[in-house]
Amino acid sequence: MKQKLIGPFTQLLPMTGITVNGAVKDEQLLVIENGGIIVENNIIIAIGQYKDLLKQIDIKDTLLEEVKGDSVCLPGFIDSHTHICFGGTRANDYAMRNAGKTYLEISKAGGGIWDTVTQTRKASILELEDGITKRANKHLKNGVTTIEVKSGYGLSVYEELKMLRAIKNVDNRIKADLISTCLAAHMHPKDYSGTASEYLEEISISLFPLLKEERLTTRIDAFIEEGAFTAEVIAPYFKKAKEMGFTITVHADQFSTGGSKVAVDFNAISADHLEASTAEEIEILAKSTVIATALPGASIGLGCAFTPARKILDAGGAIAIASDHNPGSAPMGDLLTQASILGTFQKLSNAEILSGITFRAAAALNLKDRGVLKSGLLADFSAFPTSNYKEILYQQGQLKPEMVWKNGAKIDF
């Protein structure tokens, strides 16, 4: 395939030169005025000033993909935590919660995670694939080119397999990349007669080998929380997962603490939620290699506190920001809107927010081939119709990208 020169972009922010950990000022952002990108197949060959790239190319062998009007180019966003494979809706839960009903009252009325488990089990694999496709394509339109998707509404070997196969099938078909995660340890299934430990043991013995065999995922997640799984119960499960070569990620400190310590102890790639983290958890996370992931969509959906992102960054930690898109606590599924709102409440710079949804989110998924724009990496990027990158977060998610490229190809919406 011929090379392509794409541009000129009024501003091009490659998001390079910033560390994965710690606070970042906007002055540290590299902003290339009138920038361009040379792409071959799905890979970036060069980035720089458009006029310099024009001199560099052999015009006979290069296609010029001209960008007209004002545009700010950013790396494709990465949403490192979603639950977009599900059946049904939880609109009733949402209404009841906002009407002041307690968790227990909602659960008694047939709501809560178990309702989604029931609806997801009822759905055929094709119905699940249809739901994932619609939601993922909406994310892609909003500039999100890589989307993590968890299982966790199946809660049996058979149903978890159905979910993970659905995610894999959709990944093979759509333009966005889906990174799957097994969250069979989401909750102790109500219809399982044994203990939580027995359930996890059965999953690790019967499901883990199939995940390997069918290449369904390399990632194991668990919800560490009072009412879900304790640190003690999860330890043998994570140990087994690590022995088999899976990487670990944790739903940690959402309502009570304990999860982030498990994440650090098991050398997890990321610890997500952290709304309840105290100074102690912030310190152990900041000293570790675990990426702390803020999920503002859950805070907005539940009307709860935000992850203490400012404190984690100031302590030297790494903050990724993800949507947690799910039918219960985070139905919005708009990463940019949520990230900009987290920024106003947590006092995060533009640089910190954009880092959190690009290369720091890539780190939260252990992906080294994306998240910044530089030669040799995937050509995933988008262009917003403005001349000033600061407009993007200022418009709080309402300024959407006009063009999105995935693997070097501009997507036709």
Span interacting with Zn ion, options 70-78, 121-129, 316-324, 383-391, rule CB under 5 A = 316-324
**8: preceding bond cis by omega (within 30 degrees):** yes
Phi-psi region of 8 (alpha: psi -120 to 50; beta: other; left: phi over 0): beta
Q: Which of 299, 317, 304 is closest to 260 using CA atoms?
A: 317
Tokens of 177: 């990349």
Residue range at the interface with Zn ion (CB under 5 A); choices 39-47, 319-327, 381-389, 402-410: 319-327
- Residues in contact with Zn ion, shown as a per-residue x/- string from 324 to 343 under the rule CB under 5 A: x-------------------
Tokens coding 127: 């119905």
- CB 251, min distance to Zn ion, A: 5
**Which CB atom, from 221 or from 281, has the smaller least distance to Zn ion?**
221
**Span from 37-45, 51-59, 256-264, 318-326 in contact with Zn ion (CB under 5 A):** 318-326
**Nearest in space to 390 (alpha carbons), one of 358, 349, 335:** 349
| Closest CB 377 distance from Zn ion, rounded Å | 27
Stretch that binds Zn ion, among 136-144, 186-194, 321-329, 354-362 (CB under 5 A): 321-329
Cβ neighbourhood burial of 66 (10 Å; 0-12, 13-18, 19+): exposed
| Closer of 57 and 364 to Zn ion (Cβ) | 364
Number of residues that bind Zn ion (CB under 5 A): 1
Cβ neighbours of residue 339 under 8 Å, at least 6 residues apart? Answer: 296, 321, 353, 356, 357, 393, 397
Q: What is d(CA 56, CA 64) in angstroms, rounded to the nearest whole number? A: 13
Min. distance of Cβ 412 from Zn ion in angstroms?
A: 32
In whole angstroms, how close is the CB of 384 to Zn ion at the nearest point?
28
Site string for Zn ion, 127-156 (x = CB under 5 A): ------------------------------
Cβ at position 200, least distance to Zn ion in Å: 18
**Which one, 4 or 325, has the nearer CB to Zn ion?**
325
In the complex, the smallest distance separating the C-beta of residue 322 from Zn ion, rounded to whole angstroms, is 9
Between CA 13 and CA 21 the distance in angstroms is 19
Instruction: Tell how far CA 320 is from the center of its chain.
Output: 8
**Which residue's beta carbon is nearest to the bound Zn ion?**
324
Interaction site with Zn ion (CB under 5 A): 324
